[in-house]
Structure 1
Amino acid sequence: MSLAEAAKWGRAEGDGHVFLTIDGEEQPVGQYPGVSTDEALAYFARKYDDVVAQIVLMEHRVESKAPATDMQKTVEHLREQLAERNMVGDIRTAEARLDALAGQISELEKSEKAAHDAARSAELAAREAIVAEAESIASQDPSQVQWKTSSARMNELFESWKTAQKNGIRLGRSNEDALWKRFRSARTVFDRHRRAYFSQLDSTNSAAKVAKEQLIVEAEALSSSTDWGFAAGEYRRLMDQWKATPRASRKDDDALWLRFRAAQDVFFSNRQAANDEIDQQYTANLSVKEELVVEAQALLPITDLNAAKKALQSIRDRWEEAGKVPRADMGRIEAGLRKVEDAVREAEEDKWRRSNPETKARTNSALSQLEAAIAGLREDLEKAEKAGDQRRIKNAREALEAREAWLDQIQRSASDLA
């Protein structure tokens, strides 16, 4: 503040006494002896400037929304300094600025409190979410839990809890204690279920291992059997029992399966080798039967049934004498002969159908009845033509043509039966 400005709000006397003018009245503020009146007035003006400088600093802090902590105390302290009236300056303006600051600080405090309450609510919700998820994991059916995934997640939740407790907003002792008890209880239940599950799993794995080792003993005992049909059936039975037996631990189960499979492989390899040897023996028989199929198929189409039957019987006799063929060729070679056998059978059935006396009798009766009907229709046609009755002529002619067509068809069928 300049000396001229200070002179607006106070004055100094020759003995160093200084006075403040406020609300139109003078009040003594102090004495600064041994100096000029200007120096005495400037001394007390500087005290006012110090207070104003602090007011400006406070205004900047409020404008920048600095933390409001202790701001009201500072305002009150400045008020007290102004109230001591030991300085020279525009006291009322400074007090008004402090009043404005007090209101602004109150609003800032409300805003900070709202932000703090919102952050605290968010922190409480986050802690609640951690606890709720931990309780959800702990409440799962132990037989349905994915233990590796759930254990990892429970550890993540614990780390989240520790981080929140270390760096998060304080929730109050009662809230934090209550949430921690719930979280700790959920972890305890989860750990108890996990221990019980794996203890039971170890027991189940041990029982499964013993059961599967017994199946392996049986499988290995069968591996050298040459009773192919019986042993193959037994292996199917053992496989069904293997599938019905609970799994052991993954490592044990894989090793046990390799032993069980190895015993089967020995048996089936031996059986395949035996079958291959038999198939080699049957290869010569196959050549004989292939020639017989060619000979049988030469009988087609059947023109002389008796000769074909006689030739087919000879082929059948030689077929039986030839013996077995490799299994891979059995279906193909049997189908070749069956084609000829089916053709001979069909020829026999056709011959019987044509020579059946009952069929012939029914056909002859139908011929007689149809011929009589045709003769009658011809007489009706002649009479209609003589009478010139066109309607009767048309009807008689259509009926006659239909009966003659039926007659032609029956005559052809009769010729087949001859």
Structure 2
Amino acid sequence: MAHPDVVVAGAGVIGAACAEALSAAGLTVTVLDRGAPAGGTTAAGEGNVLVSDKEPGPELELAKASRRLWPQLLDGLRAELGDDLADAEWDPKGGLVVSTGEAGPLRDFAAVQKESGVDAQVIGADEAAELEPLLTKEVTAAVWYPEDAQLQPVLAATTLLAAVRARGGSVLSGHTALGVTTSGGSISGVRTNHGVLPCGAVVNACGPWSGEFAAAAGAPITVLPRRGMVLVTAPLPESVRHKVYDADYVGAVASGDADLQTSTVVESTGAGTVLIGSSRQRVGFDETIRVDVLAELARKAVSLFPFLSAVPVMRAYGGFRPYAPDHLPVIGADPRLPGLWHVTGHEGAGIGLAAATGRLLADLFRGKESVVDPSPFRVGRAEVLA
């Protein structure tokens, strides 16, 4: 049996996007995951594809590229695989950011985003109410982002992995990447709980476990888990039409504080449920359900959409997101070990950034001109090397 050209460790949406892009470039790819595909961080995501929440800079450029690429990628996979294997519930619904306090900061943020090429439309409270009739009447300022979108994250990942299989690759569940083997100073294989899998290169897409795998490979990087939690309501008739969040969300995303931070994020799914987030907290890999966190999410959501006070919550879930100290993803070759690549650190934005991240990795792997400037994401930056 021929060995793969590349092994991707991690079958979440980032690993799946990298594997799809590499297989589209003609490489034979095997994807490993300690659990089921898309069963970790990806399964705990909301499916956001956002440009609205990112300050001007490298991550916003990656987000803009990914927003362009996602619909193209999904259309191409639907043509290749058929509708049954390639339905990721893509929904270009748009996003609405609102403030119930001082209006200036939200409008200033929209202005600098607009200068960076984002379609950010400052609107009044009346226009916000037209977009979201059930929104609180306390809105003082709002910005409409028509480019924001949503997809179903598990379906997106499994669609990407279906393409890898269709092109001759494989996806192995229950295979934990434990380290690497080397020959002549370069990668020669991946050590797993099922033995060694020979290969020419390894992509570390282990999400919040990326730091652990990198250390085991002898090339440590600083990637930490940051936990988030989401509430899910019972299915409802149409209620929340777009992704809606308060102006505090941008600050919570950009913060590196280890303490609990919450901001209001509310949106509906295709099944009619309403997702309520979001929280961020560095608690290691502690999976304890924190009732106080859930209560704060619920309280803030009701302040934005008062009708939710009478809506039952069906369940809650949490997940760990890969967090880099400088808030930028880590994408590229490890300068210390030829054949080792890292693609991680996207925190809560991995689903939205996945399409461009996969393309960027494939471009770098083949030495082609990349879809965005790769230098801000390089592995060798001081903030990442452990």
TM bin, normalised by shorter chain, reads under 0.3
Please identify the structure whose Cα radius of gyration is greater.
Answer: 1
Please identify which structure carries the higher strand content.
Answer: 2
TM-score under structure 2 normalisation? 0.17
Structure with greater helix share of residues: 1
